[in-house]
Chains A and B, each alone.
Chain A
Amino acid sequence: MTEDRIRELARDLEPVKPIPRLRTVGIGLLVSWGVALVVDVWVGGPMPRSPGDPVFTTPSYLAALAGAVLVAYGATSAALASTVPGRAAAVRLGLRLTLAGVLLAFAGWAFGVTREPVDHYGDELGTIFACGVRSIAIGLVPALLCTAFALHAVLRGALATAALVLAGGAGLGAVAVQMSCASTAPLHQLLAHSLSPLFAVVVLTAPLALLMARFARRG
């Protein structure tokens, strides 16, 4: 009976194009992130800081920036790898990097409030909310591209994949906002930039997971 099933599968065989390398998809995500940044500046968002800005020597700022980079890279690579059979090691590595990014962001905040002259500019709720929304909005573009790849590959666990996709996308958004936001207050950086992936996951995972489950291939 199983042998008959094999013959049926072979009879129905159509040529397929292998999925692109994960590295290629990653480059595509970075390009889409760049496009989102250009659109953000075009609609009135702040320009990125110049490389000579003194804030690039501040440990708390650098920790928040590095944390956002780790979350963006880790969560995105875990999301992509989770949709390709046999890439469990890449998923584990991505999850570890994500966790390291979150810890680094908290460490940067703790260092900033205890060891640096405290700046409270940007600590108001409205400013925090605006930066958080901007992070998520910029991150939605690569997140949707990542979703498209997940739907084309083999989706396993829509909820977990959606959460990783959103964390990675909002992480990319957080990198962009961290590099352009005028505030250097540790609390603002933690809540509005570093934790924006967490907010994106809390708010958007359920609808994105439903969308994924609706359109996913099964495997």
Chain B
Amino acid sequence: MKDRQERWAELERAWHARMVAAQAGDRGAYEKLLMELLPYTRARVARSVREPAAQEDIVQNVLVSVHRARHTYRPERPFTAWFHAIVRNALIDWARARGRRTSREVSLEMHAGWEPSVEPQLPGADALSQELVRALESLPAPQREAVMLIHLDGLSVADAAALAGVSAGALKVRAHRGYKALRALLGGRAPGADE
């Protein structure tokens, strides 16, 4: 524990010195600082976001934000608090943008006359029985999404809710209704039917 604290204190001193040098225009110190921040940023972002493509986008946004906001760092303040606030802001921005995208998406169920030109393929359908695939396809889209995120993709309720753009409670309700419908369709052999 003490070693960890000492290591953080050492990093704080090194990053602080490099940031002060970067504010003065030292390109070498700046590149070194950003390269050193990179693994910490990746680890922090990976703790909050599951999608690998989104993770790297957020990491790049963090680095650009550090670049644009570097004049807001005051040398007498801790560097790590300043940096973590920027990472947190980038995560919040990503979540908000994602929420906006989700709210703009229109459910295909609202357009009953529209038919896809090819048969939809469920991810992981190869591993599922045809009977289960048919049962899943017959579920309403929100219930199908909830069941698939939790049982096929193996996400936690919190992560699945974040991905679906709904609260954890709402996702649980959708999943529960999906299980009930599957159980009825498959005669008590549905995944998660016991939950």
Contacts and interface: CB of A to CB of B under 8 A. Distances in A.
Contact of B86 (A1, A5, A12, A85): A85
Given A85-B69, A156-B89, A217-B68, A15 B82 contact: no
Contact of B60 (A5, A13, A86, A217): A5
Contacts of A14: 25
Contact of B71 (A19, A86, A218): A19
Contact of B77 (A2, A12, A86, A88): A86
Interface residues of B, number: 36
Nearest to B87: A85
A17 B85 contact: no
Contacts, number: 92
A6 B35 contact: yes
Contacts of A85: 69, 72-73, 82-83, 85-86, 89
Interface of B: 22-28, 30-31, 34-35, 38, 56, 59-60, 63-65, 67-75, 77-78, 81-86, 89
Contacts of B23: 15-18
Contact of B63 (A2, A13, A16, A156): A2
B72 A84 contact: yes
Interface of A: 1-3, 5-7, 9-19, 21, 83-88, 153-154, 156, 217-219
Nearest to B78: A86
Nearest to B42: A2
A6 B68 contact: no
B73 A18 contact: yes
A18 B71 contact: yes
A60 to B, nearest CB: 41
A10 B30 contact: yes
B34 A6 contact: yes
